[in-house]
Structure 1
């Protein structure tokens, strides 16, 4: 069980679309708007987990056309989020981002987030610690995942919101938001690169 908990920690804390957008939304919009986004991510990640546990995700993702549609939707949505973060509170955008992505935005991200499916598949298909009682093991894994997921995402949100609260110049804040957005785009590029290697 400790091995499973360690795997959860390292798989979740590593930069991916969820944690990067959490920090970016916190930096661009502050803690309270970011908290609504994190609630959406939480709902979305648990929906993905249930899809993986039930096998629905495997069936749906086995259809190549659906995988392509989800990949395109994922890239488009992540690029939109990156732009929203980059231009938060800025007058340099054609249409400045006035509001943070809310609960629905978080749910949508997880629904099309390739890392969410990969992490949940790894965690729920591997690391058996109660092979004689699959129901107990699955429930225990859900509890452990959420017990680690929540503080990690709140930590990333707090880090971003701390940057938001600092008395930085507009130029410095803009550079931070652009750096957050660029990090998110780098993760998108790495995911695309990895998918082409398959």
Structure 2
């Protein structure tokens, strides 16, 4: 169980669309609005987990055409977000929007987030620790995942707000944007390589 918890922590702590967008929404709109977005991400993540555990994801992805369509749609959207971050100029943007994405935006992001599927598939199909009962193991995994997921996402939200308040030099802000975009593109690249 401790190995599973460590895997959850390290897999979720790495920058991906969910945590980067959480930091961005926090930076752009503040804690109250960003908390609604994090709630959407939370719901979306748990829906992804349910789809994986129930086999719905496997059934959908069994159709090569649908899998390819969903894969390219996800890659295109995440590349678009990464480019928006990279070219935000000298203002720390993470992801810039005129209006906050809200709960629905969080759910939809997780629905197309390849990292959410990759990480949760690895966590829920591997790291067995309760062979006596599949149901008990899945329930414990949901509890552990969420107990780690929540503080990690609120840490990234706080980071986004903190970075925005620092009033950093323009060049530093540009470097942060490029680093965040590069992190997101690494997730996109890893997802692409996993399909080869």
Shorter-chain TM-score bucket reads: 0.7 to 0.9
Task: After the TM superposition, list the runs of 4 or more consecutive aligned residues in structure 1 that deviate by more than 4 angstroms.
Answer: 83-91, 169-175
Answer yes or no: is the 8 Å Cα contact 2:115–2:187 preserved in 1: no
Residues 82-161 of structure 1: pairs in structure 2 closer than 5 A: 82=82, 85=85, 97-161=97-161
* Aligned twin of 2:49: 49
Answer yes or no: is the 8 Å Cα contact 1:22–1:153 preserved in 2: yes
Deviations 1:133-153 (A, max 9, x none): 221111111011100000011
Q: What do you get for the CA RMSD once the two structures are aligned?
A: 2.5
Deviations 1:87-126 (A, max 9, x none): 77989xxxx7312322212111111112211221211112
* Aligned twin of 2:70: 70
Question: How far off is 1:170 after superposition?
Answer: 6.0
Pair 1:4-2:4 in alignment: yes
Aligned mates of 1:153, 1:26 — CA distance in 2: 11
- TM-score normalised to the size of structure 1? 0.83
Answer yes or no: is the 8 Å Cα contact 2:90–2:171 preserved in 1: no
- TM-score normalised to the size of structure 2? 0.84
Instruction: Please list every run of 5 or more consecutive structure 2 residues that lacks an aligned counterpart in the other structure.
Output: none
Cα 1:189–1:123 change in 2 (3 A) is closer
Name the stretch that deviates more: 58-67 or 116-125.
Answer: 116-125
Aligned mates of 2:132, 2:117 — CA distance in 1: 25
